[in-house]
């Protein structure tokens, strides 16, 4: 690792299918980064930020790029936690398709300093937009059902970017109303919006009436294939 290079804290790495979003079903390598700036009530990856367990490994960018090159998957999913805490542009490898699953709070083209926990602060420089604009960013703003607040500045940033789509997690019609208000306020293209159903079990995903409403309102529906197939099994 270079002397001044900020390390990458990786929680897990595995191959599976992308479960949701605009590339659902593709064979992918998942790199799950540790730490998050939010604490959503229904988070299905709390093991990346909840409590004091140090269940992560420190890597340099070169070490992670070696992981990527030694796996067969063409699609690389950078997830978390919150991957935008790290210099993702330093992981770019030509010939691979990168995807970033982010809550969208942090603007990648701005430098960042984040107090991850006591005695550990993550710092990164601004990412190179000429590189990250080649990534497929899946931005998932949190609705009130997550007990988090919408970030005005970041949504204005992402709404103007062609290299991202938006994924909202909904439970009911009221949540869809909230999505309607958000996309109108920030001039988000409805064709770039995917709605996923909250839940961690097969039964939670089988809500045809809610999907009918999603379709009726002109939104894309995002399945959660990993939940349907494996529930909350890790590494899937």
Domains of the chain: 8-230 (3.20.20.70)
| pLDDT band, very low/low/confident/very high, at 236 (cuts 50, 70, 90) | confident
Q: What is the mean pLDDT of residues 19-46?
A: 92
pLDDT of residue 41: 78
Q: What percent of the chain has pLDDT over 70?
A: 97
**Please, which residues bridge with residue 79 across strands?**
32
pLDDT in tens, 95-106: 999 999 999 999
pLDDT in tens, 39-97: 887 788 888 988 766 789 999 999 999 999 999 999 999 999 999 999 999 999 999 99
Q: Is the pLDDT of residue 178 over 80?
A: yes
Gap between the Cα atoms of 79 and 36, Å rounded: 10
Strands in 27-33's sheet, in edge-to-edge order, are 57-59, 8-17, 27-33, 75-79, 97-102, 136-139, 164-170, 193-197, 220-221
User: Collapsing DSSP states into helix, strand and coil, what is residue 117?
Assistant: strand
pLDDT of residue 118: 78
pLDDT averaged over every residue in the chain: 93
pTM for the complete prediction?
0.94
Element spanning 213, H or E: helix 208-216
pLDDT of residue 146: 76
Higher pLDDT among residues 1 and 231, named by residue:
231
| pLDDT band, very low/low/confident/very high, at 5 (cuts 50, 70, 90) | low
Q: Please, which residues have CB within 8 angstroms of residue 55's CB and are 6 or more apart in sequence?
A: 11, 34, 47
Gap between the Cα atoms of 93 and 89, Å rounded: 9
Say how many C-beta atoms besides its own lie within 10 A of residue 11's C-beta. Answer: 19
Closest of 194, 182, 132, 191 to residue 154, by C-alpha:
182
> Do 182 and 150 meet the contact criterion of CB atoms below 8 Å apart?
yes
Say how many C-beta atoms besides its own lie within 10 A of residue 213's C-beta. Answer: 16
pLDDT of residue 50: 81
pLDDT of residue 47: 83
Gap between the Cα atoms of 134 and 113, Å rounded: 24
Q: What percent of the chain has pLDDT over 90?
A: 83
DSSP H helices, 52-170, are: 61-69, 129-132, 152-159
- In the numeric block, the tokens 């770019």 are attached to 92
Tell me the two tokens of residue 231.
Answer: 């529930």
pLDDT of residue 232: 87
C-beta contacts of 179-184 below 8 A and 24+ residues apart: 179/143, 179/219, 180/217, 182/141, 182/150, 182/155
């Amino acid at each position: 690792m270079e002397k001044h290079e900020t390390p990458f804290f990786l929680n897990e790495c595995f191959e599976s299918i992308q479960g949701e979003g605009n590339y659902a079903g593709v064979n992918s390598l998942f790199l799950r980064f540790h730490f998050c700036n939010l604490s959503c009530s229904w988070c299905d990856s709390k093991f990346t930020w909840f409590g004091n367990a140090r269940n992560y490994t420190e890597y340099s960018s070169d070490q992670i790029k070696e992981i990527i090159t030694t796996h067969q998957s063409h699609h690389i999913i950078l997830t978390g936690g919150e991957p935008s805490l790290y210099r993702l542009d330093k992981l770019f490898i030509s010939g691979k398709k990168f995807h970033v699953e982010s809550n969208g709070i942090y603007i990648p083209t701005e430098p960042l300093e984040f107090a991850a926990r006591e005695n550990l602060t993550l710092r990164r420089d601004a990412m190179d937009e000429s590189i990250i604009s080649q990534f497929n960013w899946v931005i998932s703003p949190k609705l009130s059902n997550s007990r988090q607040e919408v970030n005005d500045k970041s949504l204005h940033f992402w709404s103007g970017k062609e290299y991202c789509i938006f994924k909202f997690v909904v439970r009911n019609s009221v949540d869809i109303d909230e999505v309607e208000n958000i996309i109108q306020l920030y001039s988000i293209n409805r064709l770039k919006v995917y709605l996923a159903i909250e839940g961690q079990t097969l039964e939670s995903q089988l809500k045809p009436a809610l999907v009918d409403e999603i379709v009726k309102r002109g939104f894309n529906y995002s399945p959660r294939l990993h939940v349907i197939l494996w529930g909350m099994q890790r590494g899937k």
